[in-house]
Copies of this chain bind each other. A is one copy, B any other.
Amino acid sequence: MPKILRVNMTDRTATYEDVPERYKFLGGRGLTSTIVYDEVDPTCHPLGPNNKLVFAPGIVTGTNAPTSGRVSVGGKSPLTGGIKESNAGSSWVQAVAKLGIKAIIVEGFPKESGWWGLYITKDGVEFFPADEYAGRGLYEVYPQLFERFGKKAHICSIGVAGEMKMAMAGVCFNDNHGRPSRYSGRGGLGAVMGSKGLKFIVVDDTGAPGVEIANPDLFNQGRKKLLEALRQHDITKPKGGLNTYGTAILVNIINEAGGYPTRNFREGRFEGAAATSGEAIFENNKKRLGKELYNHACHPGCVIQCSNTYYDEKGNEIVSCIEYETTWALGANCGIDNLEAIGKLTWLCNDLGLDTIEAGGTIAVAMDAGLLSFGDWEGAIRLLDEEVRKGTPLGHIIGNGAAFTGKAFGWYRVPGVKGQNMPAYEPRAIKGIGITYAISTMGADHTSGYTIAPEILGVGGKVDQFDVNKAELARNFQYTTAFIDTTGHCLFIAFAILDIPSGFEGMVEECAGLLGADWTPDDAARIGKEIIDRELAFNRAAGFTKSDDRLPEFMKYEKLPPHNVVWDVPDEVLDAVFGE
């Protein structure tokens, strides 16, 4: 039977508990958000003794369901002050799931300073002193941990940003090659881990029992349907869009639509887009390596395989991987059109333990406020590699995110919602994603309801990007996404299952088969709604109101080129998404 592992950092104890009935049909975001709702006082200080950090594999994580190695990390966010779930793909969580761990709840507060690691195997849970790894870059530390704990270990960690409790600190997981590069980046959950004195959770699942499946036939039936859909769809199939160009295939598409935020959301089109696109990454690699390099998986069992590696002119690795959000945040949004510099900045974010979206957004705000010029990639590197790494006062400003940096310098053009900076879609030019940003329980977050699919990509239908009446669209995407985030699948399966109904069926059948539930596809939105309702309740109790479900004021009066549009979605549309 799966168990919950409760880790208390006050007295450094770890105990297994039975899974309450209420949690049995949950996983991933559904489980982290429910545990946070049940156990965390919404008014607590995110970095004080009463916050908790929750890790949960998705429902089918750890099985051979395709593209299902996602971990949800949850808690009260130091960035937004609301509930937070941020998920990542990594073998780490597959190992956790195979050990029969349904969730890890980290709670309590250290009595004295000092860093600790947690080492989890089938034989038990141990704490180990981790001071020797603190204050150092993760690219240096990860190999040492693999040497110490063996090649079969899987690593979750925070970097120096989390140690310094910075609000853009992410929680880092190893990728398939042992790199510190898969992040539950958003919302500063790395700072929560840091506040608890927890530096690592190392897992070795050797001899683990594996994940129990209640109805293997139904599970397998679903798995095959989903697999087939993923293999068919142009975006997700082998040598398809994502496998060839990575998520950065979107750069030229969103730029063409005039919705590619440039220079801290001053323009919607970037003259350096092509040079910093997925196609550029692919073509540069081809030239430099002398062969076509298709992308790789971030965790075993992924069919989509969208993670790139970028190489320099000598054929040496710069970084893996440069996502769409990353090339944008550290590129166009900062006016930087130099892909090598973007690669270096991405590497720095991984090394320091930073969310790349918030990092880029923050550098852009700092540029806009006059600290650097747009395009100054050397200055941007300095901000991360010197200021943040050394924890200088400026590093503490930058490390706390874009809204914080804006406030530090009295700057009002901060493109965020609920304290979290916007990702790579301009809400003035693409209204549905703006609605998503505004009403998401997570702050400005494209992954909480990716309406870009129908608004720009023609996936799951096609709607006008400028149409403001998208309350229902946004609502449906939010609910379905909350369900997908609960299953343990990567959100990118959505491209296939939105267009191929049998794929959607397959996803639900996998979950129903694993749990022994009698779910049909119609249940997905219902379950997603229940999860979001809990998140909304948490946020209301934390003090959020409708006035937090708004885009920043400057977008209402500043016209965005090239379409010269302002944010004109009526508040009534925003309030209609989740009603009262």
Q: Are B553 and A548 in contact (CB under 8 A)?
A: no
Closest to A41 in B: B553
Give chain B residues whose Cβ lies under 8 Å from the Cβ of A396: 393, 397, 408-409
Q: Are B397 and A553 in contact (CB under 8 A)?
A: no
Closest to A195 in B: B410
Q: Is A417 an interface residue (CB 8 A)?
A: no
List A residues 403-417 near B (Cβ within 8 Å). 404, 407-412
Tell me the number of copies of this protein.
2
Q: Are B45 and A412 in contact (CB under 8 A)?
A: yes
In the complex the two chains form, what is the Cα distance from A315 to B237 in whole Å?
Answer: 85
Q: Are A191 and B410 in contact (CB under 8 A)?
A: yes
Known interface pairs A396-B397, A541-B547. Does A407 touch B410 (Cβ–Cβ under 8 Å)? no
Q: Is A545 an interface residue (CB 8 A)?
A: yes
Q: Is A221 an interface residue (CB 8 A)?
A: no
Interface of A is mostly: loop
Q: Is A178 an interface residue (CB 8 A)?
A: no
Q: Is A542 an interface residue (CB 8 A)?
A: yes
Q: Is A47 an interface residue (CB 8 A)?
A: yes
Known interface pairs A396-B409, A410-B191. Does A45 touch B548 (Cβ–Cβ under 8 Å)? no
Give chain B residues whose Cβ lies under 8 Å from the Cβ of A194: 410
Residue among A44, A542, A553 with max Cβ neighbours from chain B (10 Å): A553
Closest to A167 in B: B407
Interface string of A515-543 (1 = CB under 8 A from B): 00000000000000000000000000111
Q: Are A164 and B48 in contact (CB under 8 A)?
A: no
Q: Is A394 an interface residue (CB 8 A)?
A: yes
In the complex the two chains form, what is the Cα distance from A550 to B412 in whole Å?
Answer: 27
In the complex the two chains form, what is the Cα distance from A47 to B48 in whole Å?
Answer: 30
Give chain B residues whose Cβ lies under 8 Å from the Cβ of A407: 78, 167, 400, 404
Q: Is A98 an interface residue (CB 8 A)?
A: no
Give chain B residues whose Cβ lies under 8 Å from the Cβ of A400: 407-408
Give chain B residues whose Cβ lies under 8 Å from the Cβ of A44: 553
Q: Are B45 and A554 in contact (CB under 8 A)?
A: yes
Q: Is A166 an interface residue (CB 8 A)?
A: yes
Q: Is A215 an interface residue (CB 8 A)?
A: no
Known interface pairs A45-B412, A167-B407. Does A548 touch B543 (Cβ–Cβ under 8 Å)? yes
Q: Is A210 an interface residue (CB 8 A)?
A: no
Q: Is A392 an interface residue (CB 8 A)?
A: yes
CB distance from A408 to the nearest CB of B (A): 5
Q: Are B164 and A410 in contact (CB under 8 A)?
A: yes
Q: Is A165 an interface residue (CB 8 A)?
A: yes
Partner of A45, one of B195, B392, B408, B553: B553
Give chain B residues whose Cβ lies under 8 Å from the Cβ of A552: 45
List A residues 35-61 near B (Cβ within 8 Å). 41-45, 47-50
Give chain B residues whose Cβ lies under 8 Å from the Cβ of A392: 393
Q: Can you give 25 contacting A-B residue pairs, CB < 8 Å? A: A41-B553, A43-B550, A45-B553, A45-B554, A47-B410, A47-B411, A47-B412, A48-B554, A49-B557, A50-B553, A78-B407, A78-B410, A164-B410, A165-B409, A166-B410, A167-B407, A195-B410, A393-B393, A393-B408, A396-B409, A397-B397, A397-B408, A543-B545, A544-B545, A545-B545
* A residues with CB within 8 A of B: 41-45, 47-50, 78, 164-167, 191, 194-195, 387, 392-394, 396-397, 400, 404, 407-412, 541-545, 547-548, 550, 552-554, 557
List the 7 closest A-B pairs by CB distance, nearest first. A165-B410, A543-B547, A393-B394, A48-B412, A393-B393, A45-B412, A396-B408
